[in-house]
Chains A and B, each alone.
Chain A
């Protein structure tokens, strides 16, 4: 089993749609969780951290379920500019993190 697994996608949605991405992790001792965004042929950039109580940043909502070792990202009112690959990231050990393979999102007009 991979340490971090994500929906393979791709997700193709119309503008204005709500889309949710899921991620599971295998290391129950993990303490830090993030969602990154990666545009085509670019470096990943931090989208948001994921906190135990859940957190929201504008149209983006992240949830963590430690019991199920599950993380989610919800994007409301999708924009064309949201098209990218979304990476789930979990700390593996004290000093480094594991990345999921990513879920590609395409938002169409």
Chain B
């Protein structure tokens, strides 16, 4: 069966520090991968999606970037965090069929 792993679960980072969140999927090949962010009390905002290795589409221009160095690995990064980057970051995968499966999320607080 397919599983998705996302870590860390919580993170507190100072303004201006770098960020790296990792997501890996097991039990499937060539998944579509996504990064979403959910601000407190808000809906999910699509940040990036990828349909293959090295293929990244950005939905919202900002100080975040994403990379897909391997088929089942998706990384979200920032060189310098802003206070507004705080939120609940969710990685998801899709096989192109029914819906997404989400990882357990990373709760990021920028202080």
Question: A residues engaging B (CB < 8 A)?
Answer: 32, 34, 36, 41-46, 49, 87, 89, 95-102
Please tell me if the beta carbons of A46 and B42 are within 8 angstroms of each other in the complex: no
Question: B residues engaging A (CB < 8 A)?
Answer: 32, 34, 36, 42-44, 46, 49, 51, 57, 59, 88, 90, 94, 98-105, 107
Please tell me if the beta carbons of A41 and B107 are within 8 angstroms of each other in the complex: yes
Q: Which residues of B contact A36 (CB under 8 A)?
A: 99
B79 → A minimal CB distance (Å): 25
Q: Find the A residue at minimum CB distance from B102.
A: A43
Q: Find the B residue at minimum CB distance from A101.
A: B43
Contact sample, A vs B, 23 pairs, CB 8 Å cutoff: A32-B98, A34-B98, A34-B99, A41-B88, A41-B107, A43-B102, A43-B103, A43-B104, A43-B105, A46-B100, A46-B101, A49-B99, A87-B43, A95-B49, A95-B51, A95-B94, A96-B49, A97-B100, A98-B46, A99-B43, A99-B44, A101-B43, A102-B43
